[in-house]
Structure 1
Amino acid sequence: MAELKAPAHLIEHVQLVWEAGAVLLKKCRQLGLDLDYSLVELGIAVHDLGKTVHTVELLGPGHRHEEEGQRILLSRGVSAEVAKVCVSHGQWERMACSTEELIVALSDKLWKGQRVDALELQVVDRICGMLNVDRWELFTDLDSCFEHIAADGQKRLNKSGGT
């Protein structure tokens, strides 16, 4: 981020997404999930890196930053697995994603209080599959975790200037 002269707003965004992600990762650890926790942490840190080039997307919609972030990371020798998160966090509905990538995408929604049923259900189903349990055995617990994170969304949005 420093090398690419990331604006303070982008760094702050990453920190706020990290707050949401940290709660999700804590829940995953409590459940004993065998995840690549480092991939989730790195993914959160770099998911919007392409916005250092496509700065108009810092405060507005757009997807050009996704491919750009992946390109930047690959050009700097970062693994394809980490670089893919730049694309998958915004295109999780249209591509095959790892559980770790889905958790990054979910963190990027929940930080601002946004609930996305389809994404949440994918995460729930992945976790249940990893633990070999029925969706309804964990749904309420995971849904409560998601709601807990989302409930602080307005507070995080206020910290970020409302965007």
Structure 2
Amino acid sequence: MSSQVKTFQTVHDAYQFLQELGASSKLILHIKLVGEAAELLISKLHELDIHFDESFFRLGVALHDSGKILHPQELTAKGNNHEYDGESLLIANGVNPNLARCCRSHGQWQTMECSLEELLVALADTVWKGKRNPQLEDLVIKRLAKQCNKDYWEFFVEMDSYFETIASDGDSRLLRSQVAEQV
């Protein structure tokens, strides 16, 4: 295990780190596409004056599928072996355990106590491809509404519409991920 804590100034530093660990170009593209959805969420959260750890969210997205370095078949097939193994891989390579935990929490948010940022990573990893998860979205909306002191249903209407806007470009992002596979 690395004795020095690995820090990242930008998501590009995280991408470089993943490449050093053996990440494929397909994995890097995937996390960049999830990152596009994350950036849209970040813009909305800024607009709403929501306080959150933006750097943690961005880096969590960049690192959430690190375990797919060890389980590349899970880039195209269902599987969750990458979750625990990704967390272990990152911790063994000096990544802060709180950040490495995004490898597990993005897929196991239903059974773990998660921070807002971890829930946002899971949300970005869902909506990037045009998929919606009402249970996850409800958790995020409840956290945000409470933080803003807004009525849940008023906030729900605004956020539900925004999540749909992000998801509506999912086909385009999926197509870009498939076109890259063929190149």
Confirm or deny that 1:105 pairs with 2:122: yes
Q: Which moved more, 1:128-137 or 1:47-56?
A: 128-137
* Structure 1 position 81, deviation (Å): 1.1
Q: Deviations over 1:114-161 (max 9, x none)?
A: 000000011100101111222112111111110010000001110111
Structure 2 residue aligned with 1:51, among 68, 71, 78? 68
Instruction: Work out which of the two has the higher radius of gyration on C-alpha atoms and give 1 or 2.
Output: 2
* Structure 1 position 34, deviation (Å): 1.2
Q: Which runs of structure 2 are paired with 1:1-163 in the superposition (5 Å)?
A: 1-161=18-178
Moved runs in structure 1, 4+ residues, more than 4 A?
none
Where does structure 1 lack aligned partners over 5 or more consecutive residues? Answer: none
Which residue identity is paired with 2:170?
Answer: G
Which residue identity is paired with 1:155?
Answer: S
Q: Deviations over 1:41-74 (max 9, x none)?
A: 0000000000000111111011110011111111
Return the alpha-carbon distance in structure 1 between the equivalents of residues 22 and 176 of structure 2.
21
Number of equivalent positions: 163
Return the alpha-carbon distance in structure 2 between the equivalents of residues 96 and 140 of structure 1.
25
Identity among equivalent positions (%) equals 45
Return the alpha-carbon distance in structure 2 between the equivalents of residues 79 and 5 of structure 1.
19
* Structure 1 position 4, deviation (Å): 1.4
Where does structure 2 lack aligned partners over 5 or more consecutive residues? Answer: 1-17
3-state SS of 2:49 partner: coil
3-state SS of 1:3 partner: helix
Which residue identity is paired with 1:45?
Answer: A
